[in-house]
Amino acid sequence: MILGVAGPYASGKGEVVQFLEERSFCSGSLSDEIRLVLAERGQEETRERMIETGVELRTAEGPGALAERLLTHIEPDRNYVVDSIRHPAEVAALRALGERFRLIWVDADEETRLARMKSRGRNGDPESLEELRRLEGRERESEDPAGQQLNAVHDLADDHLRNDGTLEALYEGLQALLQRNLYFERPAWDEYFMSIAKVVASRSNCVKRKVAAVLTVDRRIISTGYNGTPRGTRNCNEGGCPRCNAFGPGGTDLGECVCSHAEENAITQSAYHGVSVRGSTIYTTLCPCLMCTKMIINAGISEVVYSAAYPMGEVSVDLFREAGIKIRQIGDGSA
């Protein structure tokens, strides 16, 4: 879940962020992106300078610049709370995360917010309702496309939280909001194992193509393999395979290639460690070649799942089907 938090001064955004942090949400702030710039410039942080620098960054990089910068820090395996959202383009950038993102607008009446600001005594906080309205005016609407536009952000909110009462009431509202908007996503098994195979491929030392295979039994990985020269010999990327280093046409002169294929290595690694592959499923980033096809059939593997096609792949597919082995292509075909 990525929960965005927006609202006017002293509405309780900080309390919302703290509540979520205590529940294992990682926090991020668009204002922190501005603070990083000020720190790089050696400039002191003031409210006026924060606003001016934010406008400067939106003008130079686009109105969604602050959110786009923050998105580079977002990891897919964590929940986040993001505050200091002040422009509709920032909301649009965060919406690129899909259903994971929800925008919460936190608000309270002016008198309550002014009393909170007086109580906290921050430098630069307004002392009267007139001053509060004047200060907020430049944040709520702006003719400058790069200026802050809180009113437009308000209109884009998915949920609204009132914070005119006690903290306990705010927390109860937040708890109910979390339960209403719980978002949970898990990859299907095929996607899970193929994504692991693509990571395994990054270990390949072949200069022509990085390929990997993952062998599974009962949704448990028993072996992995990637293409490259045999154990104890010079790596392909170090000149170990003359054919690969000559960049010969794909699917030709395979008998001259020193590199072992990913499927071959996954199967031989199982044999090396005394693990049977009979009845297993092999996930491979590339449709097996004819040599690996024969090895897969004779090893007793029952299913082949691949991502990208390969020259002579039709021959391999036909042979698998003749041998009674299930074969499927999944994904976008990229390996």
Active site residue 263: yes
Within 8 A by CB and 6+ apart from 204, the residues are 210, 211, 212, 226, 227, 228, 262
Q: What is the DSSP string of 27-92?
A: EEEHHHHHHHHHHHHTPPP-HHHHHHHHHHHHHHH-TTHHHHHHHTT--TTS-EEEE---SHHHHH
Helix (H) or strand (E) holding 22: none
Within 8 A by CB and 6+ apart from 104, the residues are 3, 4, 5, 6, 16, 157, 158, 159, 160, 161, 177
Within 8 A by CB and 6+ apart from 174, the residues are 16, 19, 20, 161
DSSP 248: P
Q: How far apart (Å, rounded) are the C-alpha atoms in residues 335 and 331? A: 9
HEC secondary structure over 299-326: HCCCEEEEEECCCCHHHHHHHHHHCCCE
Label the pairing between strands 2-6 and 80-83. parallel
Q: Of 19, 272, 7, give the one whose Cα is nearest residue 113.
A: 7
Catalytic option among 15, 21, 191, 263: 263
Mapped onto helix, strand or coil, the DSSP state of residue 228 is: strand
Q: How far apart (Å, rounded) are the C-alpha atoms in residues 90 and 83? A: 11
How many helices and strands, by DSSP H and E, does the chain display?
14, 10
Q: How far apart (Å, rounded) are the C-alpha atoms in residues 179 and 195? A: 30
Q: How far apart (Å, rounded) are the C-alpha atoms in residues 243 and 254? A: 9
Catalytically annotated residues: 263
